[in-house]
Chains A and B, each alone.
Chain A
C-alpha cells in the first residue's frame, strides 16, 4: 500500500513542482531583462574602480616606493636627476603582469599614482601591453623654468661671489683672477 501511495505521490509531486518551477520562470519571461547591451549602454563605474593606472607626473619624485610595493615587479621607472628636478625617461607598467591589487597606490608619499576607470586591455600585440604612464618625456615645462631660474640665481650668486672675490683680490692688489664657475646646467 505504501508503495502504491508513493507511486501516485511521485506523479503528483513531479507535476506540482514542475508547475511551481514554470510559474517562476514564466514570471521572469514577462519581466524586463536586467542586462544591458554593452557597447551601446554601459553600467556606471564606481569611483574606487581599479582599472588602468594614471600618474600625476608633476608630483612624482621617482622614489620607487610603488615599484618596491608591487608584488610582481611590474612597475619600472627611469629618470635622470638634475639637482632637485627630474628628467623623465620612462615609467612603464607591464599589464601582462599587473593584477590590479592597488598595493602600489598606498605607499606613495606624494599620492601621485592612482587606479583609473579604464579597463579595456585590447591590443594586437603583447608588447603593447607594456604601458608607459608618462604624459610627457624629458622635463616638465615648469621644472625647466624652475631649473633655469635656479641656474640664473646660482649664476648671479656666483657672479656676485666672483665679483666679491675680484674686489678682494683687487684690494689685496694681486694680479691673479678668481676662476668663474661653469654652473650646474649640462642639458
Chain B
C-alpha cells in the first residue's frame, strides 16, 4: 500500500502505542490511559484507479477524508514520442503525433504539420485544405470536450451523461471514418494539406450533425452542468485565481476558466481563424464564477461545455465559405525541409500544444519537442488538492481534463 520511503518516515516518528499510564481514582478504581497518536493515511490513487483517467499515480496523504498532501507521479505511459521524432522522416512522424493526445489526434496532426510548414519558406496551404483542416479540428475539439464532459460526470458519479456524450462522439468518429478511414488515430492532416478530399455528401452530413448537436447540447447542459448536486460538488472547489493560473502556465479551458481572456485561435491567429474571428464566427467563452467563485471546477467545466457550441459555429462558418480547389500543396514525396528551427503553438482542446522542430536540411528532424498542455495543466493539482476532501480531489483531477498519453508522451 505505502512505498518504502514513507514506511521509513513513519518509523522515525513511530507513535508510542505501548505507553500505558495507570492512575488510581479516589474511588479506588484503576484507570488506564493509552497515549494513542494518530498519523495521516497515505493512499495510493493509481496507477490503476478509475479517477486518474489512465495510468497516472497520485500519492495522497489523508487525515480522514481531508487531503493534507498530494503528489502526482507521472511516466507510466512514456513512449519516447519526441525521440521517435528525431529518428523517422518528417512525414513518418505524423502517425506518432496521433498517439500522444489520442482524444484530439487531428489537433496534434495539425500542430506538427504547421510546425514543419513553417520551416518551408513561401509555402502556402491551399484554401480548401485549410477549410477541411478547420472543420476536422473543430469537430475533434467537440469530440474531445464530449469525452471531458462525460468523464467528468463519471468522476462526480453520474454515469448516464457519459453515454449520451459518447453517442454524439460516435457520430463525429464515423464522420472522420468516412473522410480518412480511422476512428481515433486519424493521420489525416499532413504536411502541406490534407490526405483526402471530403467524399460526396460529407459536408452536408457535417451540417446536419451541427443541427442535431445543438439540440443535444441543451440536454447536456440541463442534465449535468445545471444539476444542483453537480453544482454543489464542483462550485467553490479547486479554485484557481487569475494570478495562479498565469503563474502555473496554464492554458486552454483551465486558463479561461479562471477568467483570463486568452485563446491562441484569436490572439495569435493561424489558418483561417483570424478571418473567422473577424467574421464573428466564434467567441471565447470565459469563466465568470456564475455558480461559485471565479476559477472553480464548475467554471472550467462550463467553459468546455460552451466551447462545444463555439466550435459548432466555426464549423458552420467553414461550411459556408469552403470552395473547391486543390487539397494539398506541392510537397515532394521524399521531403527535405530547409534548415532552420520553428515553434508553432496551436489551441488544442486542452490548451496550447506546441511543436518545436529543428531541421538541418535533411530528411529527419534534428530535434523534435512537444509542449503538451496536459502536462503543464497537471502541475497545478498538487497545489489545489491540499485541504480538500477526498471526493473533491477526484473532482479536481477530472476538471484538469488530462490525457495521460500526452503528459508522459
A residues with a Cβ closer than 8 A to B are 10, 13-14, 16-18, 20-21, 24-25, 28, 34, 43, 46-50, 69-71, 99-103, 106-107, 115
Contact = CB atoms under 8 A, between A and B. Distances in A.
B151 interface: no
Contacts of A50: 180-182
Interface in B372-388: none
B196 interface: yes
Report the interface size class on chain B.
20 to 34
Nearest to B202: A46
Nearest to B188: A102
A69 B94 CA distance: 12
Contacts of A69: 91-92
B88 A102 contact: no
B219 interface: yes
B67 interface: no
B93 interface: yes
Contacts of A20: 222-223, 226-227
Nearest to B164: A28
**Majority SS at the chain B contact face:** helix
Interface of B: 88-89, 91-96, 98, 160, 164, 167, 174, 177-182, 185, 187, 195-196, 199, 219, 222-223, 226-229, 333
Contacts of A115: 181
Nearest to B160: A25
Given A34-B167, A101-B94, A46 B187 contact: no
Contacts of B195: 102, 106
A48 B167 contact: no
A21 B221 CA distance: 10
B181 A48 contact: yes
A16 B229 CA distance: 11
A8 B149 CA distance: 29
A46 B178 contact: yes
A14 B164 CA distance: 22
Contacts of A71: 88-89, 92-93, 95-96
A17 B233 CA distance: 14
Contact of B187 (A14, A25, A103): A103
Contacts of B160: 25
Contact of B185 (A17, A24, A99): A99
A46 B176 CA distance: 10
B171 to A, nearest CB: 10
Contacts of A47: 199
B228 A17 contact: yes
14 contacts: A16-B228, A17-B227, A17-B229, A18-B229, A24-B222, A34-B167, A49-B177, A50-B180, A50-B181, A71-B95, A101-B98, A103-B91, A103-B94, A115-B181
B333 A25 contact: no
Contacts of B333: 106-107
A153 to B, nearest CB: 36
A100 B182 contact: yes
A24 B226 CA distance: 13
Nearest to A25: B160
A15 to B, nearest CB: 8
Contacts of B96: 71
B92 A103 contact: yes
Contacts of B88: 71
B187 to A, nearest CB: 5
Nearest to A107: B333
A66 B207 CA distance: 36
Given A71-B88, A71-B92, A14 B222 contact: no
A24 B215 CA distance: 12
Contacts of B94: 101, 103
Contacts of B178: 46, 48
B332 to A, nearest CB: 11
Contact of A25 (B95, B98, B199, B223): B223
Contact of B223 (A21, A99, A100, A107): A21
Contacts of B91: 69, 103
A106 to B, nearest CB: 8
- Interface core residue of B88, B179, B182 (most chain A CB under 10 Å): B182
